[in-house]
Amino acid sequence: MKTLILGAGYAGLAVATKLKPMPGHEALLVEQNPFHTFETRLHEAAAHNTRVTLPIEPLLRGTGVTFEQASVEDVDIDAREVTLKDGRVLTYDTLVVGLGSVTNFYRIPGLAEHASELKQLSDADEIYGFVNQVYSGEYQGNRDIVVGGAGLTGVELVTELAQRAEVLSKARGLPPFRIYLVEAGPKILPILDEPLRQKAERVLREYGIEILVGHRIMGATESSVTVQTQGGEQKVIEAGKIIWTGGIQARDIVKGERLEKGPGGRIAVDEFLRAKNYPDVFVVGDMGLALNQEGKPVPTTAQHAGQQGRLTGKNILHLVRGDALEPYEPTTLGEFVSLGGLMAVGWMKLPWNQKLAITGGIAHVMKKASEWRWRASID
């Protein structure tokens, strides 16, 4: 039996590190980078150049999984073939698709052409380079930053950028740049309960971040965005850097005549995380449309991707042994939002579906603890 794992994000890497050498089974992990990226920490790399990657090959020791650094061009699950960008074609008996998501620009004019993203390490490097350039003492252009999207990624990014600007301003005697957080919805961080959300908003305002909720980005140029309020009023915000964190969609790379897709292009899966109508194809992480116990889509978060990956790794071992598969039962252990430095807000799950709200340094420690648990799970 030959297993092919595509992508070494949270889900794909969890699959690979869960496998063990077994007679009659070979497994190959294909990833375009030689490292795994902690995507939930890219905001730290963007502001502080923090190291947020791990080399893949040492993590695969003892798993029986071979690593191939290559980019995937096409996945044809009717032909059971995976075509790489160098032209090679790989075949499989069991396929795991964990290729993640891409940024959804919602066809907003000029946004894809002029906005930076925060999806991979090179995006973080680009933003970090802009911040350094602004404080070089020789920069002549607009210094302000517009971040579109006030979900978890957008909020974590603006707080880290504000903190970095404060440090550099004091060190180099230059004024901090202005940061605009633009959100089409009525509030930031809709995933949080209202008291935690309000606490986060107060922290952002203390940083001097200008929060524009109810403002939809209508278009972008190289040096500005046009926003429209819910009342229809439009205004232009000049900026030296535009960053879009306002949405994602599944990679449109898997082809199959009987494939079923849902919102955001996510592939519908069964209770074992197999693509519907394709029992030899597991789809994990952002690309899969898994449902929770209430029949609602499972969020595209790192903790859920890790859960899906670990279960899929176990189920592949069950397949090799001829055992029954285990169904997916998602659970949300909590959600924490970093607000720069040692500050965070969030909640953790308690028995009987209760939530414990946590803020400040303890919340920061809890967020770090979740990252440590993930790191331990792939060792």
Catalytic positions are 156
For 67, phi then psi, to 5°, come to -110, 135
Write down all domains in the chain, each with its CATH number in brackets.
2-103+248-332 (3.50.50.100), 111-244 (3.50.50.60), 334-370 (no CATH)
Tens digit of each residue's pLDDT (9 = 90 or more) over 15-52:
999 999 999 999 999 999 999 999 999 999 999 999 99
Ramachandran sector of residue 353 (left: φ over 0; alpha: ψ -120 to 50; beta: rest) = left
- Give the model confidence (pLDDT) of 242-261 as tens digits: 999 999 999 999 999 999 99
Question: How far is the CA of 30 from the CAs of 66, 94, 249, in angstroms?
Answer: 9, 14, 21
Share of the chain above pLDDT 70, in %: 100
Residues 222-245, mean pLDDT to the nearest whole number: 96
For 93-128, the pLDDT digits (tens) are: 999 999 999 999 999 999 999 999 999 999 999 999
Give Cα separations from 16 to 63, 112, 205 (angstroms): 7, 33, 43
